[in-house]
Amino acid sequence: MKGERTRQSILDRAVDLASVEGLEGLTIGRLADDLDMSKSGLFAHFGSKEELQLATIDAAAERFVSEVFRPALSAERGYPRLIAICRSWLSYIRRNVFPGGCFFAAASFEFDGRPGVVRDAIVQSMDEWMGAIEKAITMARDEGHLDPGVDAKQLAFEINSLFFGANFAFQLRGDKRALDRATRAIEERIESLRVPPRRRLAAAR
């Protein structure tokens, strides 16, 4: 019981640290110092640095889901939810949910060149996220909110790219307007594929 609480507080800190220093720059000694505990005591919770990294990715994913994805799910399916997801993501950067910017963008660029289970875990997280965007797009299409010919993978790619671009400019350059630029680009792009609501009530199906 106690162990679980400690483990969680370790991971909370590990996520913050890794978002700044990277998953490889995340160091057991540094983490232990930050938490006023011994290296060995902390180490025992994970058994290896790799396990710590994997657990850190999981913890980051949980934070991401509860801060970004789940809130957007309360918007009604279709176009509103798609827009809600995009706005939620940009607000996640503005709110500095991770002190070093988007954890998964950083992790993706850090591990995109080296094989191993850590990279695999990052790939899986990103796949799930991209899949969620795609699903929101196809739902919007199936609801009749978007052009039926819309290419979901393509649009998801474009939206995700603009997320990364926003994170880059905001985090590296401190450019707050980048978030507005991304918002504008995304919403104009989605608008260009939109089928406007016919009447107030008569939606498709």
Instruction: Report the partner that residue 48 touches, choosing among DNA, a second copy, none (CB closer than 5 to 8 A by kind).
Output: DNA
Instruction: Report the partner that residue 132 touches, choosing among a second copy, DNA, none (CB closer than 5 to 8 A by kind).
Output: none
7 Cβ contact list (under 8 Å, min separation 6): 45, 55
d(CA 68, CA 62): 10
d(CA 157, CA 195): 21
Q: Is 1 in the site for DNA (CB under 7 A)?
A: yes
Name the minimum Å distance from CB 43 to DNA: 4
Give 20 or 37: the residue with its C-beta nearer to a second copy: 20
Q: Is 112 in the site for a second copy (CB under 8 A)?
A: yes
3-class DSSP state for residue 101?
A: coil
Give 69 or 111: the residue with its C-beta nearer to a second copy: 111
Q: Is 174 in the site for DNA (CB under 7 A)?
A: no
Cβ atoms within 10 Å of 7's Cβ, excluding its own: 15
Q: Is 26 in the site for a second copy (CB under 8 A)?
A: no
Q: Is 47 in the site for DNA (CB under 7 A)?
A: yes
100 Cβ contact list (under 8 Å, min separation 6): 16, 18, 19, 20, 21, 106, 171
Contact pick of 20, 28, 75, 126 for DNA (by CB under 7 A): 28
Give 53 or 167: the residue with its C-beta nearer to DNA: 53
Please give the structure tokens belonging to residue 6: 């400690």
